């Protein structure tokens, strides 16, 4: 770790400045309308349409050609055994009344624990799906929609509706946005999260109506407060049954005449969705969100308008949209390639894929949580902010430490500051974990399913999206959430998980022997972007200096046994701690 800190410099703010310069000082857009299909282009496609690629996948992608690889990513789905989940609830009230208080409390605790573990198991399964790379574009789109149509366990309380919602998104992720919007307007987790179960005739609750317009379809400025109030009336009577399914309550529905976005009639929730989809602002909003997410830069008005028109012509189908985008030469322009800051999930899963190892979901999820992104715990209804919002002084240091933890060079105590460690309880003694077990996600007990209630916004109360429904997911590595996420890493360390890597063998097989060859090969394999010339020079200098300290000649390092392997791990740690390692 000391080598990494020397390389990055003692002033972390200087690192942030360097990162900002890389992002903001990118070259002007390329003028060529022909994609140069090489390793750089293939890696860029895998970075954005998935979670990074291994060297063999990049070589295969170059050989396949752009059209064939894009078509495979867009259309080829993998038949995966679905995750088994069940509705876990407290006993019927009649049975509960017959139990002594102590027994009732214990039964409730056991059921809460079962439900909590179910969501953790599912999150671990999902992280494993991302890291496997078997269906990268599907998993990328599930993550996109997870941050677009947000719902939090802190408010929903139960694992079952959240897993059900994720399965719904998984089913429609590459299909029709139209169908997805219709489905979300009846989704039990969404109805619960946005309080629509208390939206009834004569006392409308505007939460779902507001977020449908502001965040899910139109954007601010394309509707009025009157539209929100009338839309809330259209959504009255939509609720959730005791069994956790969507349920319509006709007596609670306001069947009167409403005027929404210029249309007048006795509208219900389905009519509202149709009216929204018919607005010109809707395809513009969705197209802009998709372009900004996949390209990492705000699209120009003309680019947004062009892709919005395409989306509308194709009846909001996502698959044709992404096929066109990934074949578009502008998607590979210099302004876009290698200029997006990786989110925490991207960073942790990307490390796993680029190292070519199976990292337990406890490490992936716990690491992402420490960096500020816990799945099923969005910070607010707006979801997670992308781009430079992910980078702080603390998170940059944590990213490097987490890379060192994955490589077996950094202890848990070094991952966070002493003040953060005080919030983390000691790891309990439990059986060793396998990837995908409940502890694999770094989720916390605060806001766990079936926990105590949370404050609800008053009906009709308007607040900025970043403050509405704000919850525990907002932390950036500290507090209770950070402590328990850290506890998940402690479990992995306590039971002896180590990364199984043989850099010496890999480099030897690749024909890299000299300092320059080794440095270049590891930079190419471990970074999601092309390393600048000065970075390559500095990495070569570091390797040469450290190799000389072992009294080994240039070209003979791979024959030096354990000392060489430990040096190569330190080199990998250094590379994964660079500002360039935060970009894709």
Who contacts 327 (Cβ-Cβ below 8 Å, separation ≥6)? 66, 67, 70
Which residue do the tokens 């860029």 mark? 44
3 pLDDT above the threshold of 50: no
Count the alpha carbons within 13 Å of 279 in the hemisphere toward its beta carbon.
Answer: 23
CB 19 within 8 A of CB 581: no
- State the maximum Cα–Cα separation within the chain, in Å, rounded to a whole number: 86
φ and ψ at 258, to 5 degrees?
-135, 150
Count the alpha carbons within 13 Å of 128 in the hemisphere toward its beta carbon.
Answer: 18
CB 146 within 8 A of CB 445: no
Q: Single out the residue of 395, 577, 453 nearest to residue 154, CA to CA.
A: 453
Q: Which two tokens stand for residue 184?
A: 């979300």
Mean pLDDT of the region 540-558: 95
Mean pLDDT of the chain: 85
19 pLDDT above the threshold of 70: no
pLDDT band of 483, cuts 50, 70, 90: low
To the nearest 10 degrees (0 to 180), the angle between helices 39-49 and 55-64 is 110
pLDDT value for 453: 37
To the nearest 10 degrees (0 to 180), the angle between helices 269-277 and 177-184 is 150
To the nearest 10 degrees (0 to 180), the angle between helices 225-234 and 269-277 is 140
Which has more pLDDT, 478 or 394? 394
30 pLDDT above the threshold of 70: no
pLDDT value for 468: 64
349 pLDDT above the threshold of 90: yes
23 pLDDT above the threshold of 60: no
pLDDT tens, position by position, 376-418: 999 999 999 988 889 887 788 889 999 999 998 888 777 765 3
pLDDT tens, position by position, 407-466: 988 887 777 653 344 344 333 333 233 333 333 344 333 444 444 333 444 444 455 565
Mean pLDDT of the region 213-229: 98
Which of 3-17, 70-84, 339-353 has the weakest average pLDDT? 3-17
Which of 444-453, 497-506, 558-567 has the weakest average pLDDT? 444-453
Mean pLDDT of the region 79-89: 89
The whole-angstrom separation of Cα 358 and Cα 373 is 20
Which of 131-135, 211-215, 285-289, 360-364 has the weakest average pLDDT? 360-364
Which of 262-266, 426-430, 483-487 has the weakest average pLDDT? 426-430
Mean pLDDT of the region 65-81: 95
> What 8-state DSSP symbol labels residue 149?
S
List the Cα angle 388/389/395 in 5-degree steps: 95
CB 143 within 8 A of CB 65: no
Which of 210-214, 294-298, 337-341, 493-497 has the weakest average pLDDT? 493-497
Length of the chain: 584
Mean pLDDT of the region 363-387: 92
The whole-angstrom separation of Cα 36 and Cα 39 is 9
371 pLDDT above the threshold of 50: yes
Q: Which two tokens stand for residue 295?
A: 């390209």
Percent of the chain with pLDDT over 90: 69
Which has more pLDDT, 307 or 437? 307
pLDDT band of 484, cuts 50, 70, 90: low
């Amino acid at each position: 770790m000391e080598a990494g800190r020397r390389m990055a410099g003692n002033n972390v703010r200087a690192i942030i400045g360097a990162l900002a310069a890389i992002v903001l000082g990118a070259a002007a857009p390329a003028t060529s309308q022909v994609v140069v299909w090489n390793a750089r282009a293939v890696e860029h496609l895998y970075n954005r349409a998935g979670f990074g690629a291994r060297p063999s996948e990049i070589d295969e992608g170059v050989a396949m050609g752009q059209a064939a690889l894009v078509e495979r990513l867009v259309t080829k789905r993998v038949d995966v055994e679905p995750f088994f989940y069940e509705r876990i609830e407290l006993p019927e009230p009649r049975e509960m009344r017959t139990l002594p208080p102590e027994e009732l409390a214990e039964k409730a605790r056991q059921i809460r624990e079962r439900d909590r573990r179910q969501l953790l198991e599912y999150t671990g399964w999902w992280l494993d799906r991302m890291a496997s790379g078997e269906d990268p574009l599907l998993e990328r789109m599930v993550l996109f929609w997870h941050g677009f149509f947000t719902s939090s366990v802190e408010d929903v309380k139960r694992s079952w509706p959240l897993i059900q919602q994720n399965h719904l998104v998984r089913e429609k992720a590459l299909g029709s946005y139209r169908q997805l919007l219709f489905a979300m307007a009846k989704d039990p987790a969404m109805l619960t999260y946005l309080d629509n179960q208390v939206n009834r005739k004569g006392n409308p609750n505007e939460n779902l109506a507001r977020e449908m317009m502001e965040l899910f379809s139109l954007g601010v400025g394309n509707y009025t407060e009157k539209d929100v109030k009338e839309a809330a009336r259209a959504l009255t009577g939509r609720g959730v049954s005791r069994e956790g399914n969507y349920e319509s309550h006709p007596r609670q529905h306001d069947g009167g005449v409403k005027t929404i976005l210029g249309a007048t009639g006795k509208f219900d929730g389905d009519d509202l969705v149709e009216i929204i989809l018919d607005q010109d602002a809707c395809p513009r909003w969705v197209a802009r969100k998709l372009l900004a997410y996949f390209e990492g830069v705000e699209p120009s008005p003309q680019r947004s308008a062009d892709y919005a028109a395409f989306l509308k012509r194709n009846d909001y189908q996502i698959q044709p949209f992404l096929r066109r985008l990934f074949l578009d030469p502008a998607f590979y322009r210099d302004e876009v390639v290698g200029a997006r800051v990786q989110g925490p999930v991207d960073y942790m899963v990307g490390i796993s894929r680029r190292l070519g190892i199976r990292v337990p979901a406890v490490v992936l999820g716990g690491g992402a949580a420490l960096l500020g992104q816990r799945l099923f715990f969005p910070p607010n209804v707006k979801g997670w902010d992308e781009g430079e919002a992910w980078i702080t002084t603390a998170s940059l240091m944590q990213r490097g430490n987490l890379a060192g933890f994955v490589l077996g060079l950094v202890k848990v105590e070094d991952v966070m500051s002493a003040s953060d460690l005080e919030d983390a309880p000691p790891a309990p003694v439990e059986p060793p974990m396998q990837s995908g077990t409940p502890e694999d996600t770094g989720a916390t007990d605060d806001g766990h399913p079936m926990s105590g209630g949370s404050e609800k916004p008053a009906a009709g109360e308007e607040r900025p999206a970043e403050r509405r429904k704000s919850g525990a997911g907002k932390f950036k590595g500290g507090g209770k959430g950070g402590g328990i996420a850290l506890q998940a890493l402690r479990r992995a360390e306590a039971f002896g998980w180590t990364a199984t890597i043989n850099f010496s063998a890999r480099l030897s097989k690749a024909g890299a022997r000299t300092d320059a060859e080794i440095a270049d090969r590891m930079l190419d394999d471990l970074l999601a972007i092309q390393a600048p010339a000065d970075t390559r020079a500095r990495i070569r200098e570091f390797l040469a200096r450290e190799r000389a300290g072992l009294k080994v000649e240039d070209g003979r390092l791979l024959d030096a046994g354990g000392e060489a392997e430990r040096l190569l791990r330190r080199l990998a740690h250094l590379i994964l701690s660079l500002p360039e390692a935060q970009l894709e």
